[in-house]
Every structure is written in C-alpha cells, then in structure tokens.
Amino acid sequence: MALKKTNGSMDQLSAILEKFGIRNDPDWLSVVLFVRNLLGKLSIYSEDKQAEIQREIFTELSKKDFSDKHFETIIAMLDMYIMQTIGALELEESLSQEKRSGTQLLNEMNEIIDSMQGANVRQAKKLTAFKEQAATVIQSENDRSLIVSKVRDMFQELIVEFKEEAKELNAKAKMLERTANFDPMLTELHNRRAMDAYINEAVLAQRKDLAPLCFMMIDVDHFKKVNDTYGHQAGDDVLHALARIINAHAIQYRGFTARYGGEELIIIMKNMSLDKAVVKAEAIRADVEGYDFRIRTDGRLAEKPIQFTVSIGVAEWRTGWDSGKLLSAADAAMYEAKNAGRNRVCTFTE
C-alpha cells in the first residue's frame, strides 16, 4: 500500500512538473517540492495561509519563465513569507515575556510592601515587649544602678535590632523605588511619576547649563478605532509594539522614555537640538508606519497585518519655561500634527 501511495504521489509530482514545463532543473524542482510537500508540514502556517502561498507560487510557475531573475523573484517571495512568520513568532514571544515581566513587577512590589508592613508590626511588638520587660526589671530590682544597667543593655539590643532591620528596609525601599518608576504594563518605559521627576530635574539644570533640551510627545492615531474594531487586547499589543520601537530608538541617543498617559508616550532628549530631535521623531514615525503588526486572537497571530501610525509633537525648552510649559508645548505640537492629517511630525511654534 505504501508503495502504491508513493507511486501515486510521484505520478502527481510528474504531472505538476509537466504542466509547468519543468524538467530536471534541481533549483526549480526544489521550489515545487517545498511548496507542494514541505509547506503543508509546517505548523507555523494555517491551512488558509498554506493555500495562499501555494496559489501565489504556482501562479508564478505558470508563467513558464525559468530565467535566473524569475527564480530570484520566487525565492524572494518565499523568503518574505518565512521572515514575516519569524517576525510574528518573535512578536508573540516578546509579548508573552512582557506579560510575565509585568506580573513579576507587581508581585515584587506587593512582596516589598508586605515586608515593610510586617516590619512595622514586628517593631511595634518589640517595643511593647521592651516596655513590659523594663517594667518587670524596675519592679523586681531595688538597686537603682542595677536597674539602669539592665534597662540600658536591653535598650541597646533593641537599637541594634532596629538598625539591622532599617538596613533591610532601606534596601527594599530602593527596590520598590525602581519598581514604582516603571509602567506596570509597558515595562520598557518609565511611568508618569518618574517622568515628572526627570523633566523637573532637567529643566532646573537648564539654569546652570543652557544645553538644548527637547521633549517629544507621541500619540497613536485613531487608537479608539483599534480598540473598538479589534478589542482592548489588540490595543494593549499595539502599545507594547510602539513602546519597543520608541525604546529602541531612544537608547541610541540616551533618551528618557515614559508613558505619559493612555496611548501617549514621550521621549525627553538632553543635549539635542530641535532640528536633530525632529529627524529622530521622523525616524520613529516612519518605523511605526512600516511596522508589520498582527493582532492576536485566542493566542494566535492574525494572517493579515494591520497598520497603525503615530502623530508626534516636538518642542525645545526656552529660557523662562518651567517643565509644565515644555510639556504643554510638545502637546500642542502633537495636536497640530493630528489636525494636519495625522501620521506626521510637527514642532511647536508660538
């Protein structure tokens, strides 16, 4: 039976080769074998996607153009399918990693807070015990100098314990500070509180050093439509993807990235002129526009990508401005980009 099945399969393969006019050329034979036999065994493609790839490749083969140039075209098509799938799998993996890291941050914060609360309870119990022990010593001893000596020793032991516990609490407080400074969902980005502290410090430093300071406000275009059409999970995934793109750019010039609120993200750039900041903003806008983003449904990435774009406002600090004015200027420039048609970069003008 197996032999008959093999012979039947070979007959079908021969018929396909005959149909397209392919003889014994190993390169073209390998394309047919891949599309016909191997593609169906790759679980990374759905059946619909496999059928789509087969149709497109067989359409090209039906042209009976067996030139080297046409062969390179078909290989490029197959390469595109594979790279798109690899990119989709990498995105899915990174998203799951982010979910885990976000959960880890929340668990870490809860553990630290519980530990601090526990320390307060322990200290309260120790103080109560100290009072009781001191009262017992005072009531049971008649020698005043002996009472003072015993109570002093007990008090010193208590201080030593509190000092050690204080060191532990200080270390945990530093851990909590780091946890609190990052957005619980977009773990690559700082949160609003950390952003406020950073920009206030940067603006204050301008009084001593007049180096350029720029602020970039980035907002997803028609974000509500993404949520309404594809669901809030898709909206969250869009923000995750945007956060990675922004962070990858900002790392190159030591920009400070944060989530300002909702779908608005920011970059603060020290020692960068307005002209250069606009170039950096345009690079982000172009990368977002060309990003091959695929939504997830029941843990599976969609076959077709959806495109999303961003509007970006850029402002440079001016003499006499406080941090609020700088932020408002970038926000005004961002809304100017929205009003001008979206998917563009605008700078603040009076």
Q: Where are the domains of the chain?
A: 2-66, 101-181, 192-347
Average pLDDT over residues 100-107: 53
- Enter the DSSP assignment of 261: E
Give just the sign of the alpha carbon dihedral 134, 139, 141, 142: positive
Residue 260 in contact with residue 217, Cβ under 8 Å? yes
- CB neighbours of 34 closer than 8 A, spacing ≥ 6? 78
Is 263 catalytic? The answer is yes
Residue 2: pLDDT above 50? no
CATH class, range 192-347: alpha beta
Residue 164 in contact with residue 291, Cβ under 8 Å? no
Res. 306 pLDDT band, cuts 50 70 90: confident
Query: What φ, ψ does residue 210 adopt, rounded to 5°?
Result: -85, 35
Average predicted confidence (pLDDT) for the chain: 77
Considering the chain, what percentage of its residues have pLDDT values greater than 70? 69
Residue 139 β-bridge partners = none
Q: Which two tokens stand for residue 123?
A: 């200290």
Cα-Cα-Cα-Cα torsion 228, 233, 234, 237, nearest 10 degrees, comes to: 140
In tens, the pLDDT along 256-268 reads: 999 888 889 999 9
Select the more confidently predicted residue: 25 or 183. 25
What separation, in Å, do the N-terminal and C-terminal C-alpha atoms of the chain show? 83
Query: What φ, ψ does residue 306 adopt, rounded to 5°?
Result: -115, 140
Res. 114 pLDDT band, cuts 50 70 90: low
Its pTM stands at: 0.52
Res. 247 pLDDT band, cuts 50 70 90: confident
| Identified catalytic residue from 98, 188, 263, 316 | 263
Residue 90 in contact with residue 232, Cβ under 8 Å? no
Question: What does the alpha-carbon distance between residue 256 and residue 270 come to, in Å, rounded to a whole number?
Answer: 9
Res. 207 pLDDT band, cuts 50 70 90: confident
Residue 98: pLDDT above 90? no
Q: How high is the pLDDT of residue 72?
A: 80
Q: How high is the pLDDT of residue 104?
A: 54
